[in-house]
């Protein structure tokens, strides 16, 4: 299964030059914890998370009305192609210690976002489906396990 089939395509974004307060308000109104920052060709150049705001703005006593998104975002995010298998996204998350990976087209433009929560939900559904198959084929063996 390719990442493009399972990623969330409804992704909220922020402008690099907007103030953190406006970005934080958008996070609150949209009930999201992440905004992707894109260049003019819609390629991901950064990720702004609620944690970035808490640590790099509030924690440092900075004024959200004067700090730009580009000053506190995590720049140069690792991306995964929409044509890649799920395992590629998992490898990026594991290798780089990230929970969110922007999904891009072959040209590098944003098409979605895959999160660790998405991956875990998908794997849980797959395991549940396999359990149901086992129950149908061998209910007695499964009950003894």
Strand 34-38 and strand 13-14: the pairing is parallel
Asked whether residue 7 carries a pLDDT value surpassing 80, the answer given is: yes
Mean pLDDT of the chain: 91
Q: What is the pLDDT of residues 106-132, one digit of tens each?
A: 999 999 999 999 888 888 777 777 777
Burial class (CB in 10 A: 0-12, 13-18, 19+), 139: exposed
Instruction: Please give the average per-residue pLDDT across 17-44, as a whole number.
Output: 97
| C-alpha pair distances (Å), 5 with each of 2, 86, 105, 122 | 6, 10, 12, 12
What does CATH list as the number for 3-144?
A: 3.10.580.10
Task: Report domain extents, the chain.
Answer: 3-144
Q: What is the pTM of this model?
A: 0.83
């Amino acid at each position: 299964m390719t990442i493009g089939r399972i990623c969330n395509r409804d992704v909220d974004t922020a402008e690099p030059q907007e103030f953190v307060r406006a970005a934080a308000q958008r996070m609150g109104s949209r009930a999201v914890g992440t905004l992707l920052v894109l260049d003019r060709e819609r390629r991901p150049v950064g990720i702004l998370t609620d944690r970035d705001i808490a640590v790099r703005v509030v924690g440092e006593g900075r004024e959200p009305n004067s700090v730009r998104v580009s000053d506190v975002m995590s720049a140069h995010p690792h991306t995964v192609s929409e044509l890649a298998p799920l395992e590629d996204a998992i490898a990026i998350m594991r290798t780089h210690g990230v929970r969110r990976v922007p999904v891009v087209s072959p040209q590098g433009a944003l098409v979605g976002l895959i999160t660790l929560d998405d991956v875990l939900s998908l794997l849980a559904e797959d395991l549940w489906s396999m359990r149901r198959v086992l129950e149908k084929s061998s209910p007695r063996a499964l009950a003894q396990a």
